[in-house]
């Protein structure tokens, strides 16, 4: 679908944009960009810059920003502008990570038994696309494909409230994952997704829950080690995301 000068791709977790208003289309486009890590943690955003970037007028962009602020996907600053939240490791370890694991395990267990043969083929394709993106150093594309991988399974749970909560939590955790993703992905080397894919082929809910728990444990250990590491190593791991992001150009309308 093409709206304005932006082409929208309809992913597994995207609503059907063909039936949406321009306001909804802008909201979902910005939300997807945040989930895929297209903005840096802490980056300041303005209505005008975003409108110019995605090819819409300021009015629907302003409304989308308000919705995203209310969901915690963006943070309103004292100046009146907004910024991409910087989820600290403590918040992830104490709250967000636990919720993702608990709710994700429930959704994955329910979804596993309802996967079709076509779903498994799609999961294999998403995994291969993500691996190729990682090998090219394209972490944003890899994150987007891995998200589709997860949510295909979650959505088969047929629990819309549960999936909605996971979607919100995933959005909250996106900034932290964005900042450490390349280094952790190198360490993980696709292990978790191979385990999830194997569970999907066997329609095995217990194996899926074990795979999720193992991944969460390894990620939390990685975060803990990073917190205890010398500042220079932590900066190197986060790469560009560790640097102070430059504000988006343009004045807020």
Question: In this structure, what CATH number is given to the domain that contains residue 29?
Answer: 1.10.10.10
Give yes or no: residues 31 and 50 share one domain: yes
100 within domain boundaries? yes
Tell me which of 85, 112, 128 is where a domain ends.
Answer: 85
| Closest to 241 (Cα-Cα) out of 108, 94, 119, 84 | 84
Tens digit of pLDDT at every position of the chain (253 positions): 332 323 333 233 344 444 458 888 888 888 888 877 777 778 888 888 888 877 788 888 889 999 998 888 888 888 878 988 776 677 777 888 899 999 999 999 999 999 999 999 999 999 999 889 888 878 778 888 888 999 999 999 999 999 999 998 888 777 676 666 667 777 777 888 999 999 999 999 999 999 999 998 998 888 888 878 776 655 544 443 344 334 444 444 3
pLDDT of amino acid 181: 63
Contact 156, 115 (CB under 8 A): yes
What range defines the domain where residue 11 resides?
A: 2-85
Q: What is the dihedral of CA 169, 194, 133, 97, to 10 degrees?
A: 20
Give yes or no: residues 117 and 185 share one domain: yes
pLDDT of amino acid 182: 67
C-alpha distances (whole Å) from 117 to each of 131, 155, 189, 202, 253 are 21, 15, 26, 11, 49
Give yes or no: residues 94 and 75 share one domain: no
pLDDT of amino acid 239: 44
Give yes or no: residues 141 and 205 share one domain: yes
pLDDT of amino acid 205: 97
CATH of the domain at 186: 1.20.120.530
pLDDT of amino acid 2: 30
Entry pTM: 0.73
232 within domain boundaries? yes
pLDDT of amino acid 207: 97
> Residue 55: left if φ>0, alpha if ψ -120 to 50, beta else—which one?
left
250 within domain boundaries? no
Strand locations in the chain (E): 2-3, 6-7, 44-45, 75-76, 82-83
pLDDT of amino acid 9: 36
User: Domains in the chain: how many in total?
Assistant: 2
């Amino acid at each position: 679908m093409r709206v304005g000068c932006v082409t929208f791709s309809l992913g597994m977790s995207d609503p059907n944009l063909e039936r949406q208003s321009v306001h909804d289309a802008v909201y979902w486009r910005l939300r997807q960009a945040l989930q895929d890590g297209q903005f840096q943690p802490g980056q300041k955003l303005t209505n005008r810059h975003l409108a110019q970037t995605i090819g819409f007028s300021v009015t629907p962009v302003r409304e989308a920003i308000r919705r995203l602020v209310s969901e915690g996907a963006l943070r309103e600053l004292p100046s009146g502008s907004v910024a991409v939240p910087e989820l600290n490791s403590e918040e992830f370890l104490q709250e967000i990570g636990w919720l993702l694991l608990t709710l994700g395990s429930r959704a994955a267990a329910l979804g596993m038994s309802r996967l079709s043969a076509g779903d498994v083929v799609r999961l294999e394709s998403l995994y291969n696309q993500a691996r190729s993106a990682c090998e090219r150093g394209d972490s944003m594309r890899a994150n987007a494909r891995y998200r589709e991988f997860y949510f295909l399974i979650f959505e088969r749970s047929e629990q819309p409230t549960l999936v909605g909560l996971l979607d919100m939590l995933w959005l909250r955790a996106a900034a932290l994952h964005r900042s450490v993703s390349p280094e952790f992905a190198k360490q993980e080397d696709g292990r978790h997704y191979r385990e999830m894919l194997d569970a999907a082929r066997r329609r095995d809910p217990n194996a899926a829950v074990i795979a999720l728990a193992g991944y969460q444990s390894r990620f939390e250990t990685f975060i803990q080690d990073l917190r205890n590491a010398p500042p220079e190593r932590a900066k190197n791991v986060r790469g560009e995301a560790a640097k102070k992001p430059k504000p988006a150009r343009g004045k807020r309308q």
